Structure 1
């Protein structure tokens, strides 16, 4: 479990540095928005392209993917039911759904897959699902939601093709499928810029903790409890159940359960702030689910390894 704890510690240190920058007024509210915009429009697309273009197609499309989809669907159904009862608007419902289903498969999932599961490629299916399906769908709905007037159908359908994150993700998958050898002249600058994505998201997240209300004070506790409970308990249990039904082996069951129990990803907060929907819920869900992920993953490994 050393790798798991090391991954969490690394995240905690960078988040703390963001808080220090905010406390020292190096990052104020306008600076925070700028940092979030750089992460959203430049660094994240570059990172996603470089990650996906190196993926093995056989790793992307596997039985593990079906089990992970089952876990995501379970949390989405639960979130939609709760939000409907609460009468939430569409944009806030989308962010709440991402809080309960969108895994931190990048900066936390990769080290956990390496140290705990022994193979970083095991994260590829959830990356594919999130970057090529869930995120473009969520961004399209949010784009339509924040638009001041109804958008024509053609505009809605082509909206994902004008979002930098979606474009980069799709381009990475196409390159992987076609096995295109991208020149170093193109990949090297993208990797350099993409290296900014995770630190920028973590620094922005830490600054937001200092500049905004303390976690737990800016959002209703039942809302936070539902999001975190779905993320850390329902999603891994549902993924495990689907994996068993599909006849996956012990190693695959361990992999999909651990990956499904990963906490809410930091870029959910970046997206929430970009569209001005459920920002505090996204921020607090990331904070609490990251803390809660440690004992949950520990129990999963103890039971299934």
Structure 2
């Protein structure tokens, strides 16, 4: 894809995101409203979109095991690099290391990847296998470390706290919608057209609303580039440059992934750090300031680099 074509593809993304920033900066819409828009997208619109698309998808094509294996291997290498980097930086506390792994390896699917993929490819279905891997593997590892290192919080011992956290992560609307779509697809359950049309109608709003919410949040908080620490810059560089480059090398050269799937995986890896990082940091009282800064700044860097990635990996 040429540079001009890449920019044309991103015009809707920039319009929705930039509109949120502008309205928040001019105080036309209060930045605090970003939470309501984000909750609508995360809890309702994106699940509706994913359910309808997964239900109607060819699951054999959607679950390309070579591509998924390549992405899992890429994530494992990236996790190791972040852990070694954190230790070399002098960080020893397991929860602090786990938070940095999440910052450098996990991707913002609901608020960022879904709208970008809908705009560029016309579908966000390829994100689904990575979403499940991220929730069912990466997030559970982070939750386990956080819960086991959390002293005196909540009723019961570490095992019961961990079980509650795992259960909560697996019953989020995103995961439930994806699993329901798979189940109904495999069982060939016939759903009335009115149900699918309703899910499509709501799902079509996911992309602009999610980007608008992100823009509102950014417009309200600002950037503060001057106070960016070297550690923050390193994590953002890993997330926005190192991880997608690693995906390109590992998936393409080692696993032989080619064509559309290689483009999908590199672009997914290039998505910013998820907003859940800040939620985890607040819940477990570790690296709150670092997480907020990385989430916001990686989002801006990802938008700036998207034309480059599109021009590089999309035919």
2:285 alignment partner in structure 1: none
Q: 1:17, CA displacement in angstroms?
A: 0.7
2:135 alignment partner in structure 1: 135
Q: 1:170, CA displacement in angstroms?
A: 1.7
Aligned with residue 91 of structure 2, among 86, 92, 96? 86
Distance between the aligned counterparts of 1:273 and 1:71, measured in 2?
Answer: 24
Q: In the comparison of the two structures, how many residue pairs are matched?
A: 290
Query: What are the residue-to-residue correspondences of 1:223-242 with 2, within 5 Å?
Result: 223-242=232-251
SS in 1 for 2:168: helix
Give deviations 1:246-300, integer Å, cap 9, x for gaps. 345x5368536643553327xx23x345554512211211210221232244345
Residue 7 and residue 93 in structure 1: after superposition, are their counterparts in 2 closer, same or farther (change >3 A)? farther
Distance between the aligned counterparts of 2:261 and 2:165, measured in 1?
Answer: 38
Distance between the aligned counterparts of 1:64 and 1:164, measured in 2?
Answer: 25
Unmatched 5+ residue regions in structure 2? 283-287
Residue 177 and residue 105 in structure 1: after superposition, are their counterparts in 2 closer, same or farther (change >3 A)? farther
Distance between the aligned counterparts of 1:91 and 1:174, measured in 2?
Answer: 37
Contact map agreement 2:62 2:126 (CA 8 A) in 1: yes
Query: What are the residue-to-residue correspondences of 1:35-184 with 2, within 5 Å?
Result: 35-62=37-64, 63-84=66-87, 85-87=90-92, 90=95, 93-94=98-99, 97=102, 99-102=104-107, 105-113=113-121, 124-130=125-131, 132-137=132-137, 141=142, 148-149=153-154, 152=160, 153-184=162-193
Give deviations 1:69-112, integer Å, cap 9, x for gaps. 22222223323333454357738844752554426542223554
Residue 217 and residue 164 in structure 1: after superposition, are their counterparts in 2 closer, same or farther (change >3 A)? farther
Distance between the aligned counterparts of 2:82 and 2:116, measured in 1?
Answer: 24
1:192 alignment partner in structure 2: 201
Q: CA-atom RMSD, angstroms?
A: 3.5
Distance between the aligned counterparts of 2:155 and 2:81, measured in 1?
Answer: 28
Indicate whether 1:294 and 2:307 are aligned.
yes
SS in 2 for 1:263: coil
Query: What are the residue-to-residue correspondences of 1:193-208 with 2, within 5 Å?
Result: 193-208=202-217
Q: 1:126, CA displacement in angstroms?
A: 4.1
The TM-score, its normalising length taken from structure 1, stands at: 0.77
Task: Identify the range of structure 1 (238-247 vs 68-77) with the bigger mean alpha-carbon deviation.
Answer: 238-247
Residue 71 and residue 19 in structure 1: after superposition, are their counterparts in 2 closer, same or farther (change >3 A)? same
SS in 2 for 1:26: coil
Contact map agreement 2:34 2:216 (CA 8 A) in 1: yes
1:262 alignment partner in structure 2: 270
Distance between the aligned counterparts of 1:111 and 1:150, measured in 2?
Answer: 45
Residue 221 and residue 51 in structure 1: after superposition, are their counterparts in 2 closer, same or farther (change >3 A)? farther
Distance between the aligned counterparts of 1:255 and 1:74, measured in 2?
Answer: 19
Unmatched 5+ residue regions in structure 1? 115-119
